[in-house]
Amino acid sequence: MTILVVSDLHYEMGHFHGTFEYAALEWLLSIIKRIEPSGLVGLGDWGTAWKEEDWKTVTGLVHVHAIYGNHDNIALLTKIKNQDGNLVLARDGEIRTIQNLKFGFINGIIAENTLRMKPVPRKIRQDFLGYAGRLKGVDVLCTHESPLVPGLEKHIHPSVGTTTMGEVLERVLPRISLSGHVRSGHIVSKLGSILSVIIDSSQASRHFIVLDTSSKQIEVHSDAQRIETIPFPN
């Protein structure tokens, strides 16, 4: 049984950071049809071109578990349901069991107080730490914010978000941390006993993760090519 994980799909009508992103939805659908996962986890920045019909197409193929990032249509995303009637969008601090693994979710990114009223709401450090308290011991922590791991400085400047994520991981102690928000392809790191995987599924990168719960392996793919396989941490 497999779980497909994407982040920063950035489905837009035009260009995002110089790359034409309107093919993102068709690319995602092609991956779902090829992998045939039992679940899809999205780590935010789905993009703003989505229509309700687009979501119905995706949820008709796979059960979706989503968080939002900082480039999302929140009004639409909060309404979308899976075929069983359950909401696609996970609440902050929510735990969902997917293929016998406990997944914990925290939406959005962290910013200073003056930036919190943007169209996609921002959070502050205390918000993230509060949600972390509800998620202690989950197997997989899903966030849009990424922790400060070796190699991240090549792609993004350290921030209150990256440093707070380190504190969040210390409180939650998941086996696996999945995150995005970085134009990185992918970054795999160990933070103590925690395996951190950062993924970028934009059209400039086309990376995604497959969690194989039968073989207990994490596969990192670049488009049609599997480029790395990592065993589940104990």
What's the rounded Cα separation, in Å, for the pair 128 and 109?
9
pLDDT tens sequence across 70-102? 999 999 999 999 999 999 999 999 999 999 999
Return the CATH number of 2-231, one of 3.60.21.10, 3.40.50.300, 2.40.50.140, 3.40.30.10: 3.60.21.10
Instruction: Give the pLDDT of residue 161.
Output: 79
Residue 232 CB contacts under 8 Å (≥ 6 apart), including other chains:
175, 176, 195, 216, 217, 218
Mean pLDDT of 159-176: 92
pLDDT tens sequence across 205-224? 999 999 999 999 999 999 98
The type of residue at 183 is R
Q: Model-level pTM?
A: 0.94
Alpha carbon 36 to its chain's center: 19
Mean pLDDT of 36-61: 97
Dihedral, 90, 212, 4, 131 alpha carbons, nearest 10: 20
Domain boundaries defined on the chain: 2-231
Q: DSSP per residue over 8-23, as a string?
A: -----SSEETTEE-TT
